[in-house]
């Protein structure tokens, strides 16, 4: 397992690349949730998501050790981050994305000079392909979540939250492959174990929920949840033990609840966040955290939304907010 020291070292390594993102507040959101709600704004991070943290930690480490070419597999945000780091340090990259990847994320990858290859619709299809390309091209494969350097880089979010806020009762984190939450769990639980860490998954992508229920890694079929950043088929071999050890709770949210949270955040805070990010707000809005009157940080993991599809995500919030 990674350690707090690994995360502290990652923070030093990536400090010239990433932003320290702000904590946002909304009185209206807090009132609707019955808690003091704080939004850790990783959608304002460089490349538009938290993924730059892990990608830069492993990417810089690889380049320092002689890497001249990198690949990865990604639904979008991690791919953008890897392409950005490679471009910043002057080496080529190939990003393997699903056939149904968001066009805005593909455009961002190519904007950072990354070569895009489409492969299947599941992580089980695209990950081996990215690894194969790395082997064929004598490059370095940068996993999207299941690697100690990736996990440690993502964990720097947890260190920032602890520095920015005091008296935190809970931190709510979306779960895809588990890289983000495993890093945050390590950073927070090894610093202040009294803070609750609650994970959130879409009902349609509940692989970690099932894995925890079954006490072993459990795969699910391909999913079309609107939370496209959370469309993994199973938790990682390295991330799952961290969740099993530290996670306080994991809750599920429906597609309708994600849309409502997305719409309320856009309407009330004027922030455009990804549906994957909206899962944490949905969990708070719909009372799934089983907390009242507490100080809660919701992790807003990214903001790379395809503008052409925003209208399909927006719903009428009138009934909910009355």
Are 91 and 163 in a shared domain? no
C-alpha 258/C-alpha 71 separation (Å) is 31
Beta bridge partners of 173: 199
Which of 72, 107, 141 finishes a domain?
141
Are 130 and 114 in a shared domain? yes
Would you please indicate which residues are annotated as catalytic (active-site) residues? 51, 75
Q: Which helix (H) or strand (E) holds 252?
A: strand 249-253
Are 70 and 194 in a shared domain? no
Which of 141, 156, 171 finishes a domain?
141
Q: Do 41 and 18 form a contact (C-beta atoms < 8 A)?
A: no
At residue 76, the pLDDT reads: 82
Are 136 and 168 in a shared domain? no
What is the sign of the dihedral through the CA atoms of 295, 282, 209 and 277? negative
Are 313 and 183 in a shared domain? yes
The count of domains in the chain is 2
Are 94 and 159 in a shared domain? no
What's the CATH code of the domain at 73?
3.40.50.1100
Return per-residue pLDDT of the chain as tens, 322 residues: 999 999 999 999 999 999 999 999 999 999 999 999 999 999 999 999 999 999 999 999 999 999 999 999 987 899 999 999 999 999 999 999 989 887 888 899 999 999 999 999 887 889 999 999 999 999 999 999 999 999 999 999 999 999 999 999 999 999 999 999 999 999 999 999 999 999 999 999 999 999 999 999 999 998 899 998 898 889 999 999 999 999 999 999 999 999 999 999 999 999 999 999 999 999 999 999 999 999 999 999 999 998 888 999 999 999 887 6
Residue 133 CA: distances (Å) to CA of 66, 93, 130, 141: 18, 10, 5, 8
Q: Which residues contact 268 (CB under 8 A, 6 or more apart)?
A: 26, 28, 29
Are 96 and 238 in a shared domain? no
Are 92 and 235 in a shared domain? no
C-alpha 108/C-alpha 35 separation (Å) is 36
Are 188 and 295 in a shared domain? yes
Which of 115, 141, 167 finishes a domain?
141
Are 104 and 172 in a shared domain? no
Are 120 and 159 in a shared domain? no
**For residue 284, what are the domain limits?**
4-50+147-321
Are 32 and 180 in a shared domain? yes
101-135 b/e (C-beta count within 10 Å ≥ 16 → b) = bbebbbebbeebebebeebbbbbebbbebbbebbe
């Amino acid at each position: 397992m990674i350690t707090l020291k690994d995360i502290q070292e990652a923070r030093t390594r990536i400090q010239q690349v990433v932003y320290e993102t702000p904590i946002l507040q909304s009185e209206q959101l807090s009132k609707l949730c019955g808690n003091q709600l704080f939004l850790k704004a990783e959608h304002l991070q460089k490349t538009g998501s938290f993924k730059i943290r892990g990608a830069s930690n492993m990417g810089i480490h690889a380049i320092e050790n002689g890497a001249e070419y990198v690949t990865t597999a990604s639904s979008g945000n991690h791919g953008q981050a890897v392409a950005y780091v490679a471009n910043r340090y002057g080496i080529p990259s190939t990003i393997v994305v699903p056939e149904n990847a968001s066009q805005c994320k593909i455009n961002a990858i190519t904007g950072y000079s990354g070569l895009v290859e489409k492969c299947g619709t599941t992580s089980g299809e695209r990950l081996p392909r990215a690894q194969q390309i790395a082997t064929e091209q004598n490059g370095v494969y940068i996993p999207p979540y299941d690697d100690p350097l990736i996990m440690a880089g993502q964990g720097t979010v947890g260190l920032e939250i602890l520095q920015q806020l005091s008296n935190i009762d809970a931190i709510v984190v979306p779960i895809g492959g588990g890289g983000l939450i495993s890093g945050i769990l390590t950073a927070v639980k090894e610093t202040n174990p009294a803070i609750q860490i609650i994970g959130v998954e879409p009902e349609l992508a509940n692989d970690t929920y099932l894995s925890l229920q079954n006490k072993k890694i459990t795969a699910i079929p391909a999913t079309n949840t609107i939370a496209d950043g959370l469309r993994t088929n199973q938790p990682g071999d390295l991330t799952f033990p961290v969740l099993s050890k530290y996670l306080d709770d994991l809750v599920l949210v429906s597609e309708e609840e994600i849309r409502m949270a997305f719409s309320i955040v856009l309407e009330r805070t004027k922030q455009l966040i990804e549906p994957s990010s909206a899962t944490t707000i949905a969990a708070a809005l719909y009372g799934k955290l089983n907390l009242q009157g507490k100080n809660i940080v919701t992790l807003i993991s990214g903001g790379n939304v395809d503008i052409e599809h925003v209208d399909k995500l927006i719903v009428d919030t009138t009934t909910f907010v009355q």
